Amino acid sequence: MMKLTDLLLQISYDLHYSPNDWAKELNIPLNEVGSYFTGEKEVPFFPFLLLVRQNYQDYEKQKAIFSTYAETLYTAPNILYAMELTSQMGEIELLNKLIEKGNTSSDSIVQEWAEMYTFLHNRDKIREDDFFYNTKKATLKSTEMQILLETLRAYILTDLEANMSIDKLYDDVSPQLEKVENEYIRNALQTRLHSSTVYSMLRLNLVGKVRKIGEQYLNDEEAKLCFPIKYTYILHRYAMSFLYENPDKAIKRLEDSIDILKQLPNAAARHYINEHEKSIAFVKNLWEIDQPEPDDIPEKIHYFIAQHQYEKAQALLLELKKKQPLTEFQDYYWGIAFSDEKALQRSYERFRSNGNFFFAVLPVRQLSRISLERLKNKKLKN
């Protein structure tokens, strides 16, 4: 493993940095630069993050630099910032190393953060454990981890699709955010909370609220740089808020998000790229925009419907129904492919009962089309 001194010397060589350059980039006095190279002082986290992200385009190179940097951390603030960064970037292996470092720290606050990040990434084990939540709420010392606990709760509520609870939770937590002194951590926690909020607001069909949050991030270069996964998650919901009125805008925002995620060649980014691509296929199918035939079976069904190849859609739906119960989306597809108004009504009722009022619009629109077509035919006969 490369030592930090060697790493800093390598960066100096790569970027042609003089001591003056280091002093400027790290925002430190020129006469202190040497002490960072010898390890007497710890390189400050955020300036170093910006330096690396802005000067090295290759993600694996960035990751290698931060892996070396993380090995050398010993001050509480830098360990805390690094845990949040690796969590936000979806770099779980590196996060686990930092958690191990945090667990053995003599600082009780660092230990507390390490424990909370462990829970954050293993939330399935505590999904409906009210005892865990109430116990932790009573014992956490730092404001940041009190907010992270509420964020963890928001993620669990998102998993359980408890939309109204998430909205109320954000309102309750917002005043606490103002107490967080460090701007990086404050913005990180707010981005986490916003990602859950836009999800629940879109499901409630409150597109105005979704867009208000999304528009805060459109030109936020720091969020894009430091919190790319949550940033693109927010933009994904923002893009989908235009599903029924502006497909070009929805597709453009989804494609922009994919471009950002492609800069993170890890499992988390690949998962969200796949989700974005499915959404693009969905938007194009809904608006009958030309595209290649998707690989995903549900979107393939939707594709055939968009192409008015109803027999192919019917065949796939019948095959799918043999394997598993149809989802509310697939009831919607069934209703169109088979001209089955009962399936469309069932889809609508299921969307609503699951709290997904945004997508409940789909079967309503189709039922309206059928009614209008029926009325039109009746007038022609008369």
Same domain, 370 and 248: no
For residue range 277-295, what is the model confidence (pLDDT) as tens digits? 999 999 999 999 999 998 8
Please list, in sequence order, all residues whose beta carbon lies within 8 angstroms of the beta carbon of residue 148, skipping any fewer than 6 positions away: 116, 117, 120, 189, 192
CATH code of the domain in which 136 resides: 1.25.40
Same domain, 281 and 336: no
One domain for residues 136 and 267: yes
pLDDT classification of 2: cutoffs 50, 70, 90: low
Sequence-separated (6 or more) residues with CB below 8 Å from residue 343: 331, 332, 334, 335
Q: 311 and 255 in one domain?
A: no
- Average pLDDT, integer, range 318-340: 97
45-61 confidence digits (pLDDT tens): 989 988 998 899 899 99
Classify residue 31 by burial, with Cβ atoms within 10 Å: 0-12, 13-18, 19+.
exposed
Q: Give the chain's mean pLDDT.
A: 91
Whether 41 is in a domain gets the answer no
Whether residue 46 is contained in a domain is answered as no
Where does a domain end: 251, 274, 291? 291
Mean pLDDT of all residues in 267-279? 95
Residue 129, pLDDT above cutoff 90: no
Q: Is the pLDDT of residue 131 over 90?
A: no
Domain check: are 336 and 221 in the same one? no
Q: Give pLDDT, residue 174.
A: 85
Please report the pLDDT score of residue 139 as a whole number: 84
pLDDT at 317 over 90: yes
Q: Structure pTM?
A: 0.90
CA atoms within 13 A on the CB side of 244: 13
pLDDT band at 126 (very low <50, low <70, confident <90, very high): low
Q: Among 291, 316, 338, give the residue marking a domain's end.
A: 291
Q: 77 to each of 83, 109, 144, 181, how far by Cα in Å?
A: 10, 10, 12, 12
Domain-embedded: residue 68: no
Residue 187 shares a structural domain with residue 325: no
Tens digits of residue pLDDT in 198-255: 999 999 999 999 999 999 999 999 899 889 999 999 999 999 999 999 999 999 999 9
Q: Let me know if residue 60 belongs to a domain.
A: no
Residue 135 has pLDDT above 70, yes or no: no
Cβ pair 86, 95 in contact under 8 A: yes
Does residue 233 sit in the same domain as residue 302?
no
> Which of 17-31, 82-96, 159-173, 347-361 has the weakest average pLDDT?
159-173
Please state, in angstroms and as integers, the Cα–Cα distance from residue 266 to each residue in 107, 123, 262, 271, following that order.
Answer: 31, 21, 9, 9
Is 18 inside a domain boundary? Answer: no
What are the CA-CA distances from residue 220 to residues 148, 213, 228 (Å)? Answer: 22, 12, 11
Domain containing residue 250:
122-291
Q: What average pLDDT does this structure show over 100-114?
A: 93
197 and 287 inside one domain: yes
Does 275 share its domain with 190? yes
Q: Are residues 156 and 246 in the same domain?
A: yes
- pLDDT tens track for 159-188: 777 676 677 777 888 889 989 999 999 999
With a cut of 50, say whether residue 1 has pLDDT above it. no
Give the model's pLDDT for residue 373: 85
Give dist(CA 360, CA 371) in Å, integer: 17
Its sign, for the CA torsion 361, 366, 372, 375, is negative
- Inside any domain, residue 185: yes
pLDDT score recorded for residue 380: 72
Q: Would 7 be classed as within a structural domain?
A: no
Q: What is the pLDDT of residue 191?
A: 95
Contact of 41 with 32, CB cutoff 8 Å: yes
Residues 204 and 300 in one domain: no
How far does Cα 360 stand from its chain's mean position?
23
> Where is the domain boundary, 291, 321, 336?
291
Question: For residue 4, is it within any domain?
Answer: no
Both tokens of residue 238? 């923002």
The owner of tokens 């499992």 is 267
Question: Are residues 171 and 147 part of one domain?
Answer: yes
How many domains does one find in the chain?
2
